[in-house]
Structures are given as C-alpha cells and as structure tokens.
Structure 1
Amino acid sequence: MNEEEMNYCGGCGATLQQEDPGATGYVPEEALQKEPIICQRCFRIKHYNEASSVTLNQDDFLKLLGHIGHKEALVINIVDIFDFEGSLISGLARFVGGNPIVLVVNKIDLLPKVTNWNRIVNWVRRLAKEQGLKVVEVVLCSAKKNIGFDRVIQAVEQYRDGKDVYVVGATNVGKSTLINRLISDYSDLEAELTTSHYPGTTLGTVEIPLDDGRNIIDTPGIVYQHRLTELVSKKDLGKIMPGKPLKPMVYQLNEGQTLFFGSFARFDFVRGARQSFTIYASNAVPLHRTKLEKADELYANHKGVMLAPPSEKDLLELPPLAKHTLHIQKGKSVDVLISGLGWIKVNSEAGAELAVHAPKGVKIIQRDSLI
C-alpha cells in the first residue's frame, strides 16, 4: 500500500483522521497497523452490523445530494416527528432529481397514544408538499420501539426496483438506528465493504452490499445549526430530547404572562383573551410561569440557576436569546415550534399576539397543529 492510499479509508474512501470520533474517516491508533486501513464506521458495519453516526456540514452535504441526482436510486429520507421542520432537508427534491423519495418519519413513539395516525400521515404529506417534496410514501415508525419497521422494509422493496438505496437525514433523527436495522434485516454482510471510491472524491458515504449486487448507501448526517439540539452540550441534549411519550402540559394564561423553558427559551403571551396553551416538550425541561413585566429581570438574575437547565456554565456556550413576534389569527389552531425543544399548541378563538425568545439562529415556526 502506497502512502497516498494509507491516507484514505479502504472501505468508504474518506480521508482518515484521529481528531474527531464523530466526523468522517475517524480511525483509532491501533487500526493504523492493519491493512487495509478502514475507518471506525466501516469497521463497525463490517464486524458488528452497526452503523455509527457521522456528520457533514451543509455545504458538503449539498455536494453529496447533487451526486445522488446523477444516479438511479431510491432515496430514504428520515425525519424526526418531534422536530419535523427542523430535521427536514430543505430543497431535497432539487438535488435528487426524479428519484423516488420515501419519507420515513421516526420517533412516533413520542406522540401520545391517543394520536390519530391517519391525521399524522396527512399532516406530514401536506407539509412535505409545501416544502416542494414529492414523496411516493410516508412511513411512520419508531426505530427505538420497533414500530412500523416492517413497512419500511416493504417500501424499500416496493420502490427501489433493483436500484441502490440512499439513506439521508439530519443528525439526531435516529438514522443510525434505522440503518442498523436495514443492515441486519436486509444486507448480505459476508460481502466486503466497497472499495470503489477514488481517494479524494468521497464525502464519507459507506456502501453496504445487498444480495442482488446493489447497495444501501449510508450518508453522513447533516448538521443544521438552526436546531437547538446542535447547540447544546451533550449533557443538555439528553434533557431536551425526550425518551418517553410526551405528556402535554396545559396552561391557562392571561395576556402579559410568560413561560420559561428552563433557560433554553421563553414564551410570552403578549396580548389576547385568556386562553389555553398546550406544551409538548421533554419532561426534563422544567417550565416556570411569571409575569411578562418581570420576565427580563427574572432571566437576568436566575438564568442557569433557578431557570435551568442549562447550567450557568453551559449557558455561556449558547447564543443570546433572540425575539420572534407571532400573530395568531382568530379561530386558528396552530403550533409554535422551537426547533429541537418542542412546540406550543395554540387554540385561539379570539386571536393572540405572542413572542418567542430562543437562542439566536434557532428556527421558530408557526404551523397547522400536528395533534
């Protein structure tokens, strides 16, 4: 093996590095003595039927999507129902050409058990269409609870028509868990990992061979900085990402009242008739109600302490809060999504003026109610 080849993974072709285990091409020191040298992700797929989570920045990810558009393939786009708009890949349809897209909506186990699933599918289709995304099927599933995965497998078989399968998604949507299931259920892992990449041209995809000579292509997760999940510390990530079904919290608020989500965000009911607001967020994030006129002072004096998480130390790593003003029309039932943190359902018969304060850059969206 020449020196140039030693700089690239023998499985996926990614540039090898030892600095960041979460980035493409990571290889531990002991693996450098083996031949061919393969990155940690390829090693896990080959020996343990396990894909690890690797990420790309947005520019590199868009280059990867452009590559898919020149192939005949089935695209599996995995999104997170807890942060649907935040995890949806904007402009995906422009990059994948005429290839069919199956939209796999993960983490449905987080929704209340009384949820109308047909309504959720219709809601997803409508919002995907608004984003210009034409999908051949929407599959609701929970990789964690093994719900709906049989339909994912059936959809792959139904729509791929002998083509390769590209799996794409943002970080923290459960892509690795689903890839692991695809590997264990679908792939002939006795075959070697592909070595068809040319050094210097790869973006870190891993090709997992199928029985018919085609491949499942595991792509790195895209990092979207507009999601709070990308900005918080690892410790706080476990708090804002719910692990159990959401327990909606209903607050009857008068105008001039504020709800704090720890120190992560703040929701102001600025003006309107007394009405109810339903909070869908992790139970590990405490809510604190106060008067709007005292909210600035309360935050300044108690952020990171009484208003926690995050702690004072972790709060220093977050951008300052930015204000977003929202006007809810009369008779509307809408959600206000704070990307990565959850959403507030507004049932407004008389209309309402609201303000949301979240770390600068975090996406705030007003949408038709999910539930």
Structure 2
Amino acid sequence: MNEIETLYCIGCGAQLQADDQQQAGYIPANTLAKYLKQSATQDLYCQRCFRLRHYNEVSQVPIEDAHFKHLLAKIGHEQALVVYVVDLFNFSGSVIQQLKRYIGNNPVLLVGNKADLIPSSFNRNKLKNWLQHQAKILGLQPLDIELVSAKKLTNIDQLLVKISQLRKNRDVYVVGTTNVGKSTLINAIIRSHSGWQDLITTSNFPGTTLNEIRLPLADGGELIDTPGIVHKNQISQFLSRKELKYIAPQSEIHPRIFQLQAQQTLFLAGLARLDFISGPAGSFVVYVDNNLYVHRTKLQQADEFYQKHLGELLTPPVSAETFPPLQSQTITTKEKSDIVFSGLGWIAVPEQVQVKAYLPQGLQIEVRSSLIN
C-alpha cells in the first residue's frame, strides 16, 4: 500500500492512504490534493470519520485486537501518567483485564465517566468508594478517582487540575475499552481550553479510534488518546447500529421498580431475562436505558411468550432469526445484589432470593453487591 507518510486522520488517528477504500485511513486522492493545496492538513479526516461525523454512517475496517494491545503495551516502556477511563453505567464491560501488565509501574488516575447517567439521588462519595474497591480487585492502586461526564462537561476542569497535579511533566495516556467515552472526554478537554469542538471522532459504535491521537501540551508533553480495547463480553456485538440506541443511555437513568412475587419473570426487551424462582416478595429495580422496553409476566408462560413475541413486542432485537438463543445462570443472593447484564444494565434484587438470569450465549452475567442502595 502506498501510504501517505506523516499524515494522519485527526478524527481516529489512522495513517491516511488513498489506495484501498476498505482499509483504515482511506481518503479520496482528490480530497487529499485539495487539502494539501489549502495547507490545511491539521483538519484532515479520513472518509470513514467524515461520513460518521456528517452522516452518522459507520463503516467497518479490519483492525486486529492485537494491534490495539500492542499500542497499549508501549505505555509500560515510557514514563507517563495513565488516565484510565471506565464507564460508570457499564463498569464490568469497561474493565481492561491485566491492565497493570500493559502499563507497568506508571501511576494511574481512575476516571469514572458518564456520571450523568447514574441517578442523581445516589451518593457520589459512595460511588467513589465503590470504584476504589473495584480497582483494588483489579490489582490497581489509583492515585485518585474523579467522576465526570464528558458529554455534559461535568467536572472537566476539576479533572484537568488533578491531571496537572499528578503528571509532573510526563506525557498523559488516556486508556479504556471501546465506548467508555475516551475520545469524548478528550474533546471536552480540547473544547474547554481551545474552543475547538469535537475534533476527535466519536460514536456509540465500538472502535471509533483506530490509532494513537497525540495532542501537544503547553510544556512540550503530549496528551495521547489510545484506541479502545474491544471487550468481548458485550451485547452490542449482536445488535445493529439502529438497535444500539436502546442500550446506550443518553440521559439520567430512571429506575423502574417492580414488586415481584416468586414465579414471575422480567424481560429486558428481547435481549435478557430474569426469573424470580423463590424467596420472599420484594422490590426488583431495573437500571437500563429509559427507552428499553421491560415486560413482566408469569414464569409459567415465559418461554412461550418469548418465542411468540421476540422481534415484535420484545424488541430489540428486530430480527429473531439472527439473534442467538439465551443461556441461563442460577443465582442465590445472601445480600442485596445487582445482577449485571454486561452492556445492557443491571437489576437490583433483594437478599435471600433465588433467581435465574439469561443473556445470549457467549456472554457472562455478573453478580455484585448492590451499587445503589
């Protein structure tokens, strides 16, 4: 491939090339020539980013997961501050396993993004303490924890002050899995200090950033946006771009409370299911996108109901034929717990109950102490 040296897409970081439309960084030759003539190379976007930004069209390009991990592993050989961004709504789906192996002994600032999605009634200090505990489980000892909303620009200035205090003239690497909002966060930082808006391409579709995007800092250092590691345990892999809007909250989650008795079932559209097998009647609280349909029915008729209404009343998915069958996991709680459907949300269930949770085959269900009490 005849690559255009030193020119990169400012939106996704891919090296620009005019030879292969199916590969990352493609830009039509006439578009490239026009930009070069105008000496506006700093504003160059590849065709993929251009169409995503202007027409909301997503095109897949073949990028190996090993490429992402190779870029991440480079951090361990440098002196840097690592800003590790996690998704507060989808924490389990935003965990990078063995992150310590990639980043070495570099210090970590843990950033919980999408704080605007968590119900405002929940105590933020408790949320920080919960994140601290989760970091310890992962073998991390973050220097500090910040809660932000990159979309709403909440606590961005506070985050910048913290980064300035901790970086000590080192480069800053922003890392995370796909769709945690890394690029949105960096855009918020750019907007806060330069007035430029949405320089880096973002979307709800996984893998928008394809390579490192390096932004200069005033003291000669760099702020580096890294490609997101693709998390395999995500329900989004089974959904179309149009269906993703039902599982990607854009505003504060409104808890939906169901007073259930044993032998009742909750369907999260056609994507997941929770059977209340046995235990005292109680409140089951659903935390999913406000637009996702939740249906209650009797356990005795749940199987038949699912087969009859999948792809119609129970949508997404739109197509029952292409959606994988659900597999179940039986869970008995000793305390108030969250049953986490990775990439979809969670259901808070009472203590001393037995439930059966369902997700598509290949995905895992997590049980944790209740996040929101």
TM-score norm. by structure 2 comes to 0.83
Q: Give the letter for the 1:343 counterpart.
A: W
- Return 5+ residue gaps in structure 1 as ranges: 190-202
Give the C-alpha shift of residue 182 in structure 1: 2.3
- Find the counterpart in structure 2 of residue 346 from structure 1: 349
Q: Which moved more, 1:232-241 or 1:57-66?
A: 57-66
CA–CA distance in structure 2, aligned partners of residues 162 and 333 of structure 1:
45
Give the C-alpha shift of residue 286 in structure 1: 1.0
Whether the 8 Å CA contact 2:3–2:17 is kept in 1: the answer is no
Provide the aligned length of Structure 1 versus Structure 2.
Answer: 342
Is 1:40 aligned to 2:41, yes or no? no
CA–CA distance in structure 1, aligned partners of residues 362 and 336 of structure 2:
26
Whether the 8 Å CA contact 2:256–2:287 is kept in 1: the answer is yes
Whether the 8 Å CA contact 1:225–1:361 is kept in 2: the answer is no
Is 1:323 aligned to 2:328, yes or no? yes
User: Larger relative CO (CA 8 A, sep 6+): 1 or 2?
Assistant: 1
In structure 2, relative to structure 1, the CA distance for the partners of 1:44 and 1:273 (3 Å cut) is closer
Deviations 1:258-295 (A, max 9, x none): 10111011111122222221111112111111121211
Give the C-alpha shift of residue 44 in structure 1: 8.4
Give the C-alpha shift of residue 221 in structure 1: 1.9
Q: Which of residues 154, 163, 168 in structure 2 aligns to 1:161? A: 168
SS in 2 for 1:119: helix
Give the C-alpha shift of residue 41 in structure 1: 6.3
Q: Which moved more, 1:263-272 or 1:25-34?
A: 25-34
Give the C-alpha shift of residue 178 in structure 1: 0.7
SS in 2 for 1:167: strand
- Find the counterpart in structure 1 of residue 367 from structure 2: 366
Is 1:334 aligned to 2:341, yes or no? no
In structure 2, relative to structure 1, the CA distance for the partners of 1:302 and 1:43 (3 Å cut) is closer
Q: Give the letter for the 2:358 counterpart.
A: H
- Find the counterpart in structure 1 of residue 4 from structure 2: 6
Deviations 1:6-37 (A, max 9, x none): 377457573747546xx852434543435598
- Find the counterpart in structure 2 of residue 96 from structure 1: 103
Is 1:107 aligned to 2:114, yes or no? yes
In structure 2, relative to structure 1, the CA distance for the partners of 1:289 and 1:16 (3 Å cut) is same
In structure 2, relative to structure 1, the CA distance for the partners of 1:57 and 1:345 (3 Å cut) is farther
Deviations 1:200-234 (A, max 9, x none): xxx72121111211111111122212112343111
Whether the 8 Å CA contact 1:24–1:204 is kept in 2: the answer is no
CA–CA distance in structure 1, aligned partners of residues 161 and 30 of structure 2:
40
Is 1:357 aligned to 2:355, yes or no? no
Is 1:84 aligned to 2:82, yes or no? no
Is 1:138 aligned to 2:136, yes or no? no
Matched ranges for 1:52-201 at <5 A: 57-186=64-193
CA–CA distance in structure 1, aligned partners of residues 296 and 21 of structure 2:
44
In structure 2, relative to structure 1, the CA distance for the partners of 1:285 and 1:219 (3 Å cut) is same
Q: Give the letter for the 1:358 counterpart.
A: L
Q: Give the letter for the 1:321 counterpart.
A: L
TM-score norm. by structure 1 comes to 0.83
Is 1:210 aligned to 2:208, yes or no? no
CA–CA distance in structure 1, aligned partners of residues 89 and 14 of structure 2:
34
Whether the 8 Å CA contact 2:178–2:228 is kept in 1: the answer is yes
Give the C-alpha shift of residue 370 in structure 1: 1.0
In structure 2, relative to structure 1, the CA distance for the partners of 1:324 and 1:7 (3 Å cut) is farther
In structure 2, relative to structure 1, the CA distance for the partners of 1:157 and 1:26 (3 Å cut) is farther
CA–CA distance in structure 1, aligned partners of residues 112 and 194 of structure 2:
22
CA–CA distance in structure 2, aligned partners of residues 98 and 42 of structure 1:
38
- Return 5+ residue gaps in structure 2 as ranges: 197-209
Q: Give the letter for the 2:338 counterpart.
A: D
Over the aligned positions, Cα root-mean-square deviation in angstroms equals: 2.9
| Percentage of identical aligned residues | 39
Q: Give the letter for the 2:25 counterpart.
A: G
Give the C-alpha shift of residue 135 in structure 1: 0.9
- Find the counterpart in structure 2 of residue 193 from structure 1: none
SS in 2 for 1:61: helix
Deviations 1:109-148 (A, max 9, x none): 1122211110000001101111112211110011111111
Whether the 8 Å CA contact 1:105–1:138 is kept in 2: the answer is yes
Q: Give the letter for the 2:371 counterpart.
A: L
Give the C-alpha shift of residue 188 in structure 1: 11
